[in-house]
Amino acid sequence: MSKIYGLTGGIAAGKSTVLGLLRDNDCVVYDADQVARDVVEPGTVGLSRIVAEFGSNILLPDGSLNRKKLGSIVFSDKNQLKRLTNITGPLIRKRILHTIKQVRKSHDNKITIFEIQLLFESDYQKYFSGVISIYLPQDVQLERLMQRDKINREAAMNKINSQMSMEEKRRRSDYVIDNSKDLNFLKNEINELLKKL
């Protein structure tokens, strides 16, 4: 039975970079963000439910979801975020649990990593052999998010505060990757982690 680990971290923690390094080290990687995108593609039940809840003005001219517009609605209002999560959450969960089940059944000896940003919030930890969190101090997270999304401090803090804190994620995790420094430091962190898995 294959081992599968959950990976989490706050917004702008560097999950894409970490996933890339894990792939480079021959890990099989799944990304819940991709699952979240898949369940709201045009023609899906997910997208039709979002339109029914939030209105057709959250669509782009081609009929796909206007993520930026929906994001501006849900990240500034916890009730709106809850409405969205109530729609997409069950669809994402069903697909993730199916994937975990398939991986567990396989006899592949590779390490499998499933990145889920809201891993603890959605109670996924019980499905994994262990949980890894990517950590960086909030001041570093804030700077990176403002730069990445080209947004001001208030908008960045709204996004950060809509999630569980990195400190809490770190406390609940079995393994921690420190991504507060440069790429070489991060590569070393990944190498040390893989020795333990």
pLDDT score, position 109? 83
- Per-residue pLDDT at 93: 93
Across the chain, which has 197 residues, the per-10-residue mean pLDDT values are: 88 93 96 93 96 95 95 88 93 94 86 93 94 95 94 92 90 97 96 95
Q: What are 148-159's pLDDT values in tens digits?
A: 999 999 999 988
Distance CA 134, CA 58 (A): 32
Q: What's the pLDDT at 192?
A: 96
Domain 4-196 falls in which CATH fold? Answer: Rossmann fold (3.40.50)
Whole-number pLDDT of residue 108: 79
Asked whether 7 and 112 are in contact (CB, 8 A), the reply is no
For residues 104 and 1, the answer to whether their CB atoms sit within 8 Å is: yes
Phi and psi at residue 9, to the nearest 5°:
170, 155
Single-letter residue type at 41: E
pTM: predicted TM-score of the whole model, two decimal places: 0.82
Question: What is residue 136's predicted lDDT score, i.e. its pLDDT?
Answer: 93
What's the pLDDT at 162? 83
Give me the pLDDT at residue 1, please. 60
Which H or E run contains 138? helix 138-149
Q: How far apart are CA 161 and CA 151, in angstroms?
A: 15
